[in-house]
Amino acid sequence: MSEQKKETLGFQTEVKQMLHLMVHSLYSNREIFLRELISNASDAIDKLKFEAIKKPELLSQDPHPSIRIGVDETAQTITISDDGIGMTREEVISHLGTIAKSGTKEFFANLSGDQKKDAQLIGQFGVGFYSSFIVADKVTVVTRKAGDPADSATLWESNGEGEFTVENTKRDHFGTDVILHIKSEDRDLVSKFRLRNILTKYSDHISTPILMGKDEYKDDKVVDTGEWEAINQGAALWARPKSEITEDQYKEFYHHVSHDPSDPLTWTHNKVEGKNEYIQLLYVPSAAPFDLWDREHVNGVKLYVKRVFIMDDASQLMPKYLRFIRGVIDSEDLPLNVSREILQQSRDLKTIRDGSTKRVLSMLEDLAASRAADYDKFWALFGNVLKEGMGEDPANRERIQKLLRFVSTATEGKQTATLEGYLARMKTGQNSIYYVTGDTPEAAAKSPLLELFKKKDVEVLLMGGPIDEWLMQFMTEFEGKSFVNISKGDLDLGDLSDKNEKEEKEKLQVEFKPLIDKFKEALGSSVQDVRMTLRLTDSPACIVNDENALNPAFVRMMKMAGQEVPESKPILELNPNNPLVARLQEKNAFSPDWAKLLLEQAQLMEGETLEDPAGFVQRMNTMLVDSMHAKGN
């Protein structure tokens, strides 16, 4: 044993913040400490079993590892012991003194100080071991790493107020004891009867036996028999027949695998038979995890092989666009004693991943078909992540497309339009799916380009934000109908156009040629072209883009991110039926400032920032003064 002194160390700042917040905000839910500690104990046993595949001697002391709950009414302590992997001194210091999750700093920076909201967030973040301090004013951990000698165990102790101590100690077996010195106000918990009640509520899905001291009635008194008895079935929940699992057990298992205190939105449980045999138990959460946008996040779906935990690297089991899925996959065929690296390249694992992806898509299809309100909830939480699938998973593109939801001119601001619904609402003669992009769907809804579509009562999808810009690259067609961006090119409405529209448009270009020329001269190189349009009904002008140009919203986004983007000049289109434009046709009515103003107005309507805002205001004011003079004010 390396002789090491007792050390006093400080918690990482985030741990201090968490301890403070947790004790205050989670007190009403104080029983969660038991769930968290049992989860840790069961994970530790899973890890030991995995290590024991290569080193079977690790299981020789305790061939059937268990979790034991001890209650000492005299000392007012509750002890959770496990025969798991244990921790070295260094591991104790880092695991029980810091929070290793990615995004921790950002998470704490985002807390609002509103207790209710923060309590919910911290629940999602996962309080883990630190939840001990909700009910304990001192916690002692005695742990021995599997494989280490008995006298190199570690004793960790803290009162949860900023510091902890570590020192060497002895422990007969591998594993960990967590001893909670219960606060005086929580002494009601120091009762086998109480704990048994809590545990039966949420430990039945745990695949490790949980034992408590067996009591007996003797002479009307409860006495401890000195024996242990199991209080759960101790068999993996997912391996049991569906018919034997209650809804509550499914939910409890979800809390266990996901560390999410809220109930799941839905789940799917299947035994896949055939060439590859495996069981899937996969859940859709009802709350977004705090690190949803961390594409490198792991830990969503755990892989087991014949009930032995192998890894929780979700990227091997689920595509990234389904990273919100939680649960377990248990294979009958994968080899147990194989390195994780080789496993990751296994073709069987790929088959499991493809099968599970399809299963998740079916689960979402069912949710959409049978519980529309819950699907809307799902969409609000995870829709933007699912969209990534359009790029990431070409094989399932069609199915993903059907799961997409959009805001459209027919949904009153709600993200409820499906592509199938759009097709059903298409007008006779309509051959394309029309969309317009803006910084947000609300901004897109204000585009003057929609005027003609409103007049013809044709639905347009309102796309907003960078993800939608990206998404549209993959949306070339849906069930034979192509997607058409209404802000691009010389919009051809095909059979939707009125009979003479084309001719009329050509006539207009001739009729208004003098005005068009004046505009071109005044605007010079700031536009690519000026032409008359029939796509506006109210606004005097709009800007559209060349067929090949990047979308303006995308260009704005790239510029904001400091990226160089090829400049493409807009095309200014004028509405001949607008009184202002009609008036400019008249003798002496035009001045170059009018041309500039109309272009600037159209740019503002598109959500663009003006190159020369001061010039715009000046021009506007000059026009106002002129019009006052004209009215004789």
Ligand X SMILES: Nc1ncnc2c1ncn2[C@@H]1O[C@H](COP(=O)(O)OP(=O)(O)OP(=O)(O)O)[C@@H](O)[C@H]1O
The annotation status of 535 as a binding-site residue, yes or no, is: no
Closest to ligand X by CB, 35 vs 596, is: 35
Which residue sits closest to ligand X, CB atoms considered? 128
Q: Residue 362 corresponds to which amino acid? A: S
CB of 244 to ligand X, least distance (A): 28
| Angle separating helix axes 372-387 and 347-370, nearest 10 degrees | 140
CB of 313 to ligand X, least distance (A): 15
CB of 118 to ligand X, least distance (A): 16
> DSSP 3-state assignment of 273?
coil
Q: How far apart are CA 501 and CA 159, in angstroms?
A: 81
The annotation status of 253 as a binding-site residue, yes or no, is: no
Q: Which residues pair with 303 in a beta bridge?
A: 311, 329
Q: Residue 568 corresponds to which amino acid? A: S
CB of 4 to ligand X, least distance (A): 19
Q: Residue 542 corresponds to which amino acid? A: C
- Residue 394 backbone phi and psi in degrees, to 5: -55, -30
The annotation status of 270 as a binding-site residue, yes or no, is: no
Q: Which stretches within 96-167 are classed as H helix?
A: 104-109, 115-125
- The strand order across the sheet containing 541-544 reads 529-532, 571-574, 541-544
CB of 303 to ligand X, least distance (A): 17
CB of 36 to ligand X, least distance (A): 6
Closest to ligand X by CB, 95 vs 359, is: 95
CB of 224 to ligand X, least distance (A): 24
Closest to ligand X by CB, 86 vs 464, is: 86
The annotation status of 128 as a binding-site residue, yes or no, is: yes
CB of 397 to ligand X, least distance (A): 34
The set of long-range contacts for 109-114, using a CB threshold of 8 Å and a minimum separation of 24, is: 111/17, 111/21
Helix, strand, coil percent content, the chain, rounded in steps of 5? 45, 20, 35
Closest to ligand X by CB, 92 vs 195, is: 92
Q: How far apart are CA 563 and CA 558, in angstroms?
A: 5
Q: How far is CA 163 from CA 79, 289, 491, 567, in A?
A: 21, 29, 69, 58
CB of 113 to ligand X, least distance (A): 22
CB of 156 to ligand X, least distance (A): 10
The annotation status of 102 as a binding-site residue, yes or no, is: yes
What string of DSSP letters covers 334-384? S-SSS-HHHHHT-HHHHHHHHHHHHHHHHHHHHHHHH-HHHHHHHHHHHHH
The annotation status of 36 as a binding-site residue, yes or no, is: yes
Closest to ligand X by CB, 71 vs 142, is: 142
Q: How far apart are CA 423 and CA 426, in angstroms?
A: 5
The annotation status of 480 as a binding-site residue, yes or no, is: no
The annotation status of 463 as a binding-site residue, yes or no, is: no
The annotation status of 601 as a binding-site residue, yes or no, is: no
| Binding residues for ligand X (CB under 6 A) | 36, 40-41, 44, 82, 84-87, 95, 126, 128-130, 176, 259
The annotation status of 127 as a binding-site residue, yes or no, is: yes
Q: How far is CA 253 from CA 240, 282, 402, in A?
A: 13, 11, 30
- Say how many CA atoms lie within 13 Å of 10 toward its Cβ: 5
The annotation status of 129 as a binding-site residue, yes or no, is: yes
CB of 119 to ligand X, least distance (A): 15
In sequence order, what are the residues at sequence separation of 6 or more whose Cβ sits closer than 8 angstroms to the Cβ of residue 363? 266, 267, 268, 282, 284
* Nearest alpha carbon to residue 150 among 167, 168, 162: 168
| Angle separating helix axes 592-605 and 613-630, nearest 10 degrees | 120
Closest to ligand X by CB, 81 vs 316, is: 81
DSSP 606: T
The annotation status of 340 as a binding-site residue, yes or no, is: yes
Q: How far is CA 12 from CA 86, 95, 112, 141, in A?
A: 22, 11, 20, 18
Three-state SS letters, 49-97: HHHHHHCHHHHCCCCCCCEEEEEECCCCEEEEEECCCCCCHHHHHHHCC
The annotation status of 426 as a binding-site residue, yes or no, is: no
Is residue 411 a contact partner of residue 398, using CB atoms and an 8 Å limit?
A: no
Q: Residues forming the annotated binding site for ATP?
A: 36, 40, 82, 87, 101-103, 124-129, 176, 340
Q: Residues forming the annotated binding site?
A: 36, 40, 82, 87, 101-103, 124-129, 176, 340
